[in-house]
Amino acid sequence: MADIRNDREREELHKADGWDFKQYVLGVMFYRYISENLTNYINEGEHAAGDAQFDYAKMKDSDAEGARAGLVQEKGFFILPSELFCNVRARATDDENLNETLERVFNNIEDSAKGSESEDDFAGLFDDLDVNSNKLGATVAKRNEKLVKLLNGVADMKLRYKDNTIDAFGDAYEYLMSMYASNAGKSGGEFFTPQEVSELLTRIAVVGKTEVNKVYDPACGSGSLLLKAAKILGKENIRQGFFGQEINLTTYNLCRINMFLHDIGYDKFNIANEDTLISPQHWDDEPFEVIVSNPPYSIKWAGDENPLLINDPRFSPAGVLAPKSKADLAFIMHSLSWLATNGTAAIVCFPGIMYRGGAEKKIRKYLVDNNFIDCIIQLPSNLFYGTSIATCIMVLKKNKADNKVLFIDASGECVKVTNNNRLTEENIAAIVDEFASREEKPHFAHLAEYGEVVENEYNLSVSTYVEAEDTREKVDIEKLNAEIAEIVEKENELREAIDRVIAEIGV
C-alpha cells in the first residue's frame, strides 16, 4: 500500500527505530493531506468560477495572503503556496536547511489557527515531529538526507487527493497505526484498538439508532473507536460530533490528526489532553448517547489517597472508590456518569473486575442493584496488541426495558491469524444479533434475572451463567467397562506370572 520508492529507502526509514519513528511518517502524511486538502478546496472554487487553469500551488505567496482570513474561518488553517507539501518536497534535495524549512512550515500552520475557533485543534499538532532529533542522524546533513527520503516516501504513497476518496488518507493512517501497534508489543495496545474490536463495540452501542447527538471515548487513544461510529452511522448522523480525552500527549496528537484525515471538521470534534479520572473534561456538555471505550487495564490511580474523589459525583453514588491499584471500575463509573438517559456505553474490561471482591464487588453491586448493566460479553483471548488476556465487554444503559442481564459467551467467535485471534464479519454479526435479540441460546447466551445475579453474589463472569459446551468425545460406557475388565485380567495374569518367577528363584 505504501509503495515507498524502493526497499533500500524503506529500510532506511525504519532504521530510526520503527516504533519511535511512527510520528515522522504519520506527521508528514498529515502535512501532505492538509496541503492537498486546502489546494483542492481552493482550486475547485476557482474552477467553478470559470478559471479552469487555476492552481493554488503555483500562486505567489503575496497574492495568496488576501485569502488567509477567509480560509482560516472556513477550513480552520492556512498554508502559503510555497509551504505546501508538494512545493517543499520539490525543493527538498537542494535545501541545505530542510530541517529549518520544515520546522518553520509546521509552526506557521499551527500559528495560522491562533485566535480562531480552531486554535485548540491545531495547537501542538506537530510537536512530536522533531526535525532536529538525533534519531534522524548525528549531523544536520544526515538528518536532512533522512527527511528528503521521508518526504519522497510519503509523496509516493498512492493517496492522491484528487484520484481517491477522502478516506484514502484515513485508511492509510489507520493501516500504518495498526502496523506500528502490532510491532510495538504492550505499548501498541495503549493507543490503538484493533479495527474489528472497534467495529463490534460500536455496533453494539448503536443498536436501534440511526442518528445520535454525539460520541464519546474517555480513553480515546488514536481515535479509532470514535471514527468507527462515523463509518457505521455516517458522520452526518452524529449531530454534535466526536468527543474524547487522552492522557498521553503523543497519542492525543495522533487522535487529532486522525480526525482531520477522516475529514472530520475542526468544529466537529473536541479531544482533550488530560487525565480523565482526575481532571475530566466536557463536564458541562450534554450527556452522550454513544460511549465506546477500551480503557487501560488495571492501572494505578489516586483512589482514596485523594479525599476529594469520594465526593466526586461520578464516583460517590457507589459509596466506594475503585482500588488504587486497579482503576478499571473508575472508568466504568465515569462513563456511566457521562451517559445519556437514552444512551448505550460499550466498554472493554479486564476480566478480574467481574469477580474480584472488596471495593470492586461493592461497585458491581451498585451497578446491578440500580439496573445499569445491560450485558456482559466474554471475548476470545489474544485479540489485542500486547496482551493475550481474554477480555470482556460491559454494556451500560440507564433506561432498560427490564431488570435482567444478558450474558454472552463469545470466546469461540474468532479465527486464528498468525499469533492472534481475529473477529470476522460473521463473528461480529453473531454477537451483535444476540445482543439485539436477547434470546436464550444454550452454551452461548443466558438472560439472567436480577435475583439470579444477587444469588451469585454479584459475580458477573460469563462462565457463571453460560455453561460451556462439552466438546469432548462421548464415551461408550459398556465398551469402556469391557476394556477395563480386559486390562484387569491382563494385570492379574501379569501378577501371577511375576509371582511364579519369584517362587522359582526362591525369593
Q: Same domain, yes or no, for 158 and 195?
A: no
Instruction: Grade residue 122 by pLDDT with cuts at 50, 70 and 90.
Output: very high
Q: What is the CATH number of the domain that holds 98?
A: 1.20.1260.30
Q: Same domain, yes or no, for 147 and 196?
A: no
Within a domain: residue 1? no
pLDDT (tens digit, 9 = 90+) per residue, 438-496? 999 999 999 999 999 999 999 999 999 998 876 555 556 676 667 667 766 766 666 66
Instruction: Grade residue 16 by pLDDT with cuts at 50, 70 and 90.
Output: very low
Confidence (pLDDT) at 134: 87
- Of the listed ranges 1-10, 81-90, 154-163, 352-361, the least confidently predicted one is 1-10
Q: Same domain, yes or no, for 85 and 131?
A: yes
pTM of the model: 0.82
Count the domains in the chain.
2
Copy the grid coordinates of residue 436: 439485539
Q: Same domain, yes or no, for 270 and 416?
A: yes
| Rounded Cα gap, residues 110 and 108, in angstroms | 5
| Rounded Cα gap, residues 83 and 59, in angstroms | 11
Q: Same domain, yes or no, for 197 and 309?
A: yes
By CB atoms closer than 10 A (0-12, 13-18, 19+), residue 325 is exposed
Kind and range of the H or E run holding 378: strand 373-378
| Rounded Cα gap, residues 34 and 11, in angstroms | 27
Within a domain: residue 502? no
| Rounded Cα gap, residues 156 and 6, in angstroms | 10
Q: What type of residue is 223?
A: G
Q: Same domain, yes or no, for 405 and 262?
A: yes
| Rounded Cα gap, residues 292 and 200, in angstroms | 10
SS3 for 314? coil
Considering only residues 416 and 38, tell me which one the structure prediction assigns the higher pLDDT.
38
Instruction: Grade residue 135 by pLDDT with cuts at 50, 70 and 90.
Output: confident
CB 295 within 8 A of CB 316: no
Q: Same domain, yes or no, for 408 and 260?
A: yes
Q: What is the CATH number of the domain that holds 338?
A: 3.40.50.150
**Measuring CA to CA, which residue among 106, 36, 37, 124 is closest to residue 74?**
37
Within a domain: residue 26? yes
Partnered with residue 408 across adjacent β-strands are 377, 445
Q: What residue numbers bound the domain in which 81 lies? A: 7-164
Q: Same domain, yes or no, for 414 and 375?
A: yes
Q: Same domain, yes or no, for 192 and 74?
A: no
Within a domain: residue 497? no
CA atoms lying within 13 Å on the CB side of residue 329: 31
Copy the grid coordinates of residue 286: 450534554
| Rounded Cα gap, residues 88 and 148, in angstroms | 10
Q: Same domain, yes or no, for 20 and 140?
A: yes
CB 465 within 8 A of CB 446: yes
Considering only residues 490 and 151, tell me which one the structure prediction assigns the higher pLDDT.
151
